[in-house]
Structure 1
Amino acid sequence: MSQNAPIPPLNALKAFRSVGRHLGFSIAAEELHVTPAAISQQIKNLEAILGVVLFHRNGRETQLTEAGQILLPGIEKGFNELENAVRVCRAHGDSSYISCNTVGAFAARWLVPRLPNWTERHPKVDVRISTTSEWVTFDRQDIDLAVRLSTGQEDGLQTELLQVEKIVTLCSPSILGQDPPLRKPEDLINHQLIHFAPTNGRINTRWADWLELTEIDSVDPNRGIFLSNGMAALNAAIAGQGIVLAPKTLASDDLERGTLVVPFDIELPTDFAWYVIAPSENMERPEIRAFKEWLISEAKMNDKG
């Protein structure tokens, strides 16, 4: 190919980048939301344009050829610079906004109720909140920062502690005085357990482990209501449907209002806490730094409360 030959189509390069990173056509198709056949066609077109073979395919195994190994680092670097340039350009647009990603329960129970405080201080900076249980891919999802449960060790990302988490028992105060009452852990045998099992599996909210910690074997840990949605689990507890084992942060406002109480002081240990997470370059934007600092100040006020 001559030095003045046009650059191959962006979609073909994007397909090559994804297949090269994952060494799999099906995974690349899932990542780019197209069919494996479409990915295969893009790779064939790119190989025809470049005049080289980029992958060896042997059954389910995919390997880069020598030419593919030469091409991939440059394509990765090019896309990273392109995506960063787009982010910087958007940051200097007429409409200033911050895109924040978190899980649905944290958004609904903690973040959204506090947003008026941010808007009052920063009326010209909008906040766009997206929610997902999957881990964030900052360079492909147009996300500025995320709030997630983490150990604080995330490769290539800047993390800052927002809120220490505690896994506690939660229920409506009306349950405490029911007949039969709920006064000690052994009384759980007479009440319904609400099981909250997060789909991302990052925290342990298993009743079996809590009961083992309390050395109680008279309560069946496999009975009750099973929910994967944190908001649904907390709403069930507020409605008096049983006792849930869940992150205390998600219930902080309910505990303050008195719609939920912690019946027992026994906590299930966890290594996870809520962190503000972002690529280091994103923190160069003043409004993102300000939003991160505001989040931390709100968390400190929550602790004092």
Structure 2
Amino acid sequence: MSLPPLAALRAFEAAARHQSFKKAAAEIAVTPTAISHQIRLLEETLGIRLFDRRPRQVVLTPAGHELFPVLRDGFASFALAIDHVGQRTKTRSLTVSVLPSFAAKWLLPRLPRFQAEHPDIHLRLHTSPEVVDLPSGVVDAAIRYGAGPYRGLVAQTMFQERFVPLCSPMLGLKHPEDLKDCALLHLDWLRPDDQTPTWERWGSAAGISGLKLSGGFTFSDDAHAIQAAIAGQGVVLASRELARAELDGGLLVQPFGPVIEGHTYNLVHTGRGDHRAEVEVFGNWIVSEIARSQEHSKPAGD
């Protein structure tokens, strides 16, 4: 593609728009002489006059009138495209809705790794137990726990939830029968179903009866229930994945099985929007973190 020098085209467009070499020079931050020189160069390149020079005035020739709107619209398109690309780079962000317990126990401890691996993405967390309307655009994606269905949305399964008895090592539990003499900690689930991890369900899977199903503390948040277990206030039936840090650090132990399965955690989004690429990056990172977590040896009871 053979084109005249860009500086000459820019000088002509500004002079034609202002109908003044002086005003064009002020806009581009050069001297009027420089504007005159660039336009003379353009005219010599094209072999045609673009301006009639008159005392204290310049007027477009018919050729100048023909060229001006094309260059005006072209430079406007350049500016719009460059601004769009620049803004997208500056605002490469991702807003994700997350359950408070998942944010506190699983996501937040791992966020430094995400930031280190993807420093160009600014992650915003919207923590709430309430379901956010994704098509509204308030958030770009959500991490949801449950069976779905997620109609009209794209759902990427993160991991299958698994619940086990967890307690402080100070309690010294060795066998499932020991639970009959322990306080049991409970979780108050918003939408209980046949996959809800209750002590009744766990006792049935373990083949034991006589557990103290009444009494003890009831919590609305996994994080608080796990903290109570660390303090030795009882045994909690909790997510092994969410309590990974406490298990690895020896603050909690899984004294025995069995393991009961819950629903899956899913990264859900519309598949549309300006941040689809960031959602994909975040989803792939979660998958890698799950794989990293599963490299740990399996505890007793599996």
- TM-score with structure 1 setting the length: 0.64
The 1:283/1:297 distance shift into structure 2, 3 A limit, reads farther
Distance of aligned partners of 1:252 and 1:264 in 2 relative to their CA distance in 1, 3 Å threshold? same
Aligned match for 2:183, one of 185, 192, 198? 192
Q: Does 1:205 align with 2:197?
A: yes
For residues 212-246 of structure 1, the C-alpha deviation after alignment (integer angstroms, 9 at most, x for no partner) is 22232222212211111111100001111110011
CA distance in 2, matches of 1:283, 1:163: 26
Selected match of 2:219 from 210, 227, 241: 227
Q: Which has the larger radius of gyration?
A: 2
Cα shift at 1:266: 0.6
Please tell me the residue identity of whatever aligns with 1:153: P
Q: Is 1:280 equivalent to 2:268 in the alignment? A: no
Give the deviation of 1:283 after TM superposition: 8.5
Distance 2:181 2:265 in 1: 34
Change (3 A) 1:277 1:257: same
Q: For residues 275 and 288 of structure 2, what CA distance do their matches in structure 1 show? A: 19
Paired residue secondary structure (2:139):
coil
Unaligned runs of 5+ residues in structure 2 are: 1-83, 297-302
Equivalenced residues, count = 212
For the 8 Å contact 1:153–1:159, the answer to whether it is kept is no
1:217 pairs with 209, 223, 239, which one? 209
Aligned-residue offset at 1:127: 0.5
Question: How far apart are the structure 2 equivalents of 1:276 and 1:150?
Answer: 11
1:304 aligns with 2:289: no
> Which SS does the other structure have where 2:241 is aligned?
helix
Aligned to 1:99, the other structure's residue is in SS state strand
Match of 2:248 among 251, 256, 274: 256
Structure 1 distance, partners of 2:274, 2:236, is 37
Is the CA contact 1:189–1:218 (under 8 Å) kept in the aligned structure 2?
yes
Compute the RMSD of aligned alpha carbons. 2.3
Q: Give the drift of 1:265.
A: 1.6
Secondary structure class of the residue paired with 2:165: strand
Q: Distance in 2 between matches of 1:142 and 1:134?
A: 13
Give a deviation string over 1:177-204, Cα, whole Å, max 9, x none.
xxxxx22111112111111123343651
2:257 is matched by which residue type in structure 1? D
Unaligned runs of 5+ in 1: 1-87, 177-181
CA distance in 1, matches of 2:273, 2:244: 29
After superposition, where does 1:20-99 map in structure 2 within 5 Å?
A: 92=88, 94-99=90-95
Instruction: Name the SS of the counterpart of 1:280 in structure 2.
Output: coil
2:161–2:261 Cα contact (<8 Å) kept:
no
The residue matched to 1:129 in structure 2 has which SS? strand
The two structures have a TM-score, normalised by structure 2, of 0.65
